[in-house]
Chain A
């Protein structure tokens, strides 16, 4: 007998358990692992509102100013009456101007000015400068897997207990200097905040959000298998719920064929001939730009569970992801040459947490003669392959599978560290094997 999987019920059940532990549990911390697009922000907003309604003063720690502003806007949207404090830096333009229009949001660079607000939100970097006599009863730490252990050390004295929410599959935090000296220590300052937290408090309740609402049915199984093999998740929508169609028919070129393949199956691989290239491979960059240009020209329309009518695939619904900043700059320049300026082009680090209808990805290993730890990092590929609601087109030079086989991982083994599974080698092979079924070979 098979039971029908009801994504809404499964997600609601998980959320209820998390909120119960947060509001009524005895543990000092609750950890929530959330796969891409599983409603992490919704959960944070809901937990914040329920804690505030229960009369618990709450501090919220996010990692970037954009994340903080986004949370403030979402909180105000759900409950415009809630007194929210936005603690910001002393820099020029420290917060999103949209916050000025919100009546119950108070903004200040001094924590003392915000005393008495039901919820006070800021970045970890800003919280680190705050001194308090009486710690907050509750805190929510958002994107806790992106937070470094030393950043948590700086703020953990501010709260008694906390809800830690994040995505373990995304990019790990990094240090710009070597930190091998502390590898294997439970409080390695360059490790993620959650790693340290759980090393010292292994009995904390850990939850998992089981449903991705962002990833379509075509993408969730691949991303789940490749990047979350031991904590699988499902998509919230079925195969027929989303669709992508183009008004202008294909002209038969490589970019058009790969667009059609991605529209039909959710994935497309535009494969350029094998070649070792500089990072800003001009042909690959041009191919990425051409795919984006054609997508816009062909009048795309996306249908989804959100609305009965198709919505046009506009430039703000498309993003391009790269591994390096100079690659992003090269793609931006190539797009500008084709008259496209609205499309977001950024590195994996900066695309974390963002969502688009369609993404075009320049594969991190495309054209490389070697596979370094940076380019193999599981989180990088995971971020790039999990930003889309409808389809993802990967542009890559042929020969990456051989490259992976030629260069086994040579990173030194550190004693006492938690080995992350799957490793980048395995995850890359899994993704490439799947993409091979949606391959369009093209010689520009």
Chain B
């Protein structure tokens, strides 16, 4: 944890309110995000119990699996989910704009510009917490290899149409969420935690109710009191008044309310199956429907508070102005969305279970580049984030006290002015350390020459962005009295080296992976058909 976030947390404790950790919003928020509040069944990984999902905060769609161990009901839930998510995704896939992309020409091997479609906007999925992102991945993993009856008439348990496609999309969302700074799939607790520092640990910040209690405590309460209440307060029946944001449920709810309700449902179902005539069946169907309704009400009662909390979080985040570089990062999300749309349209198989060596290395390289880019951009967009970097000795701000013109050696001397900056910061500068400042959105580099007055003044030599002439272009060199901010980290990331194609994987990494085969769904086990 950086010094500034430690200080912010201490301040949150002493003031009883979360402190801002950012002055702008560092993540993109779409106009119409799809909020997804899922619940799972205790003791069975990936067995959904229900969910609230939708784009309208006043009219969420409630999906429930009354008997989570029943495969057919589970598939029905996933099919219903597909009916909500896929039309939402498709709406964004259809609207495109023209864009340019550099591609390698397969014939000449040269890099050429080609005109391609880029989706004008992209869908955005919001889940309450990080565990929700894991569940999105798990659902994607469990669905994308399934076969529908149409794809494979022999499949023992054919999936409803569109369920495998939902699996591919959820997998894409889940995978994209691993890219630093991406906003295609966001966990509300992560985004709020990025923008506010609470007086509790980052583990406790994973409780959405407690996190919101710190950020926006009710009248007359401190954040700590409100957070404690959110975590622990139970009603007369022993149920949490602020249910956990899921997907896991509170054991007291499971034991006291959910298990008996499911048992009643099971009994009603058995009774219906045993009905001997139409009249009896009608009666028992009524009992089954009311048992199902009871479970629906229970699931609704545990998801609705979280649903409202997610929207409240969105309201709080929308109050912050968007950071300057957010749009640029969102454009990369749009590229990622468009790319997957094209793969689906081209009939490519679902994402493989495991990445091959080259794909894994490429993904890691991309994410490392995005992480460095994100850290630089957040600091450039937000003085509060920059303050943290300054405090850590990775940047410094101050006033220019002197500018001395100097020139480089060589046949055509170029300007290399020496600029003295008075600063209260203590940057970790070493001999010829490179530093950068933003000049009209582009980084201008300088190198450290000396410090004066015991570190209170830093002398820098400006190295570039001054034009081609002997005299620097106007405005390209700081002037006496200017306020400047230099960073020790680079503002833009260089692209890494190109890795070999997967079919040219070298012997050190096991050689080429071989032909891509259509992966089969997981074999059905006894546990699957309880």
Contacts and interface: CB of A to CB of B under 8 A. Distances in A.
Contacts of A190: 364
Contact of A125 (B363, B497, B511): B497
Nearest to B367: A177
Given A157-B506, A197-B508, A189 B428 contact: no
B497 A153 contact: no
A156 B364 contact: no
Contacts of B504: 157
Interface stretch (A179-187, A380-388, A399-407, A435-443): A179-187
Interface residues of A, number: 34
Contacts of B393: 326, 329
A64 interface: no
B364 A200 contact: no
A415 interface: no
Using C-beta atoms within 8 Å of the partner chain, give the interface range for chain B: 20 to 34
Contacts of B505: 153
A150 B508 contact: no
Interface stretch (B43-51, B299-307, B350-358): B350-358
A118 interface: no
A124 to B, nearest CB: 9
B360 A28 contact: no
A326 B371 contact: no
Contacts of B506: 153, 156-157
Contact of A128 (B358, B497, B508): B497
B496 interface: yes
Nearest to B513: A187
B365 interface: yes
Contact of B510 (A188, A193, A200): A200
A196 interface: yes
A178 B178 contact: yes
Interface string A157-193: 1000000000000000001111101100111111001
Contact of B368 (A93, A154, A177): A177
Given A128-B496, A189-B357, A156 B507 contact: yes
Contact of B508 (A125, A182, A200): A200
Contact of A329 (B360, B370, B428, B496): B428
Interface centre among B360, B370, B505 (most CB of A within 10 A): B360
Given A150-B364, A196-B508, A181 B178 contact: yes
Contacts of A325: 428
Contact of B360 (A125, A154, A182): A182
Contacts, number: 91
Contacts of B372: 176
B508 A152 contact: yes
A73 B157 CA distance: 68
B409 to A, nearest CB: 13
Given A153-B358, A177-B371, A189-B357, A326 B500 contact: no
A149 interface: yes
Contacts of B368: 175-177
Contact of A176 (B357, B371, B499): B371
A129 interface: yes
B274 interface: no
B4 interface: no
Contacts of A206: none
B497 A154 contact: yes
Nearest to B505: A153
Interface in A177-222: 177-179, 181-182, 185-190, 193, 196-197, 200-201
Contacts of B510: 186-187, 200
Interface string A37-78: 000000000000000000000000000000000000000000
B180 interface: yes
Contacts of A201: 507-508
Contact of A150 (B178, B361, B392, B507): B361
B357 A187 contact: yes
B509 interface: yes
A325 B393 CA distance: 10
A157 B371 CA distance: 28
Contacts of A93: 432
A71 B184 CA distance: 47
A185 B511 CA distance: 14
A359 B507 CA distance: 41
Interface string B361-385: 1011101101110000000000000
A326 B392 contact: yes
Interface string A4-31: 0000000000000000000000001100
Contacts of A188: 360
A129 B364 contact: no
Contacts of A181: 178, 355, 360
B365 A156 contact: no
B508 A185 contact: no
Interface in A195-253: 196-197, 200-201
Contact of A149 (B180, B392, B496, B509): B509
A179 B507 contact: no
Contacts of B354: 185
A201 B511 CA distance: 11
A149 B364 CA distance: 11
Contacts of A28: 507
A150 B365 contact: yes
A149 B361 CA distance: 8
Contact of B499 (A154, A175, A185, A196): A154
Contacts of B432: 93
Contacts of B356: 187
A360 to B, nearest CB: 20
Nearest to B509: A187
Interface in B16-46: none
Interface in A129-152: 129, 149-150, 152
A120 B491 CA distance: 33
Contacts of B508: 29, 152-153, 156, 193, 196-197, 200-201
B509 A153 contact: yes
A156 to B, nearest CB: 4
A210 B510 CA distance: 30
Contact of A177 (B355, B364, B392, B509): B364
Contacts of A128: 496-497
B509 A175 contact: no
Contacts of B358: 153
A182 B364 CA distance: 10
Nearest to B445: A92
Contacts of A152: 508-509
Contacts of A177: 178, 180, 364, 367-368, 370-371
Given A28-B507, A326-B393, 6 more contacts: A129-B497, A177-B178, A187-B356, A187-B357, A326-B392, A326-B428
7 contacts: A176-B372, A186-B510, A187-B356, A187-B357, A189-B361, A200-B510, A200-B511
Top 10 A-B pairs, shortest CB-CB distance: A128-B497, A156-B506, A150-B361, A187-B357, A189-B361, A156-B508, A177-B367, A200-B510, A189-B364, A187-B509
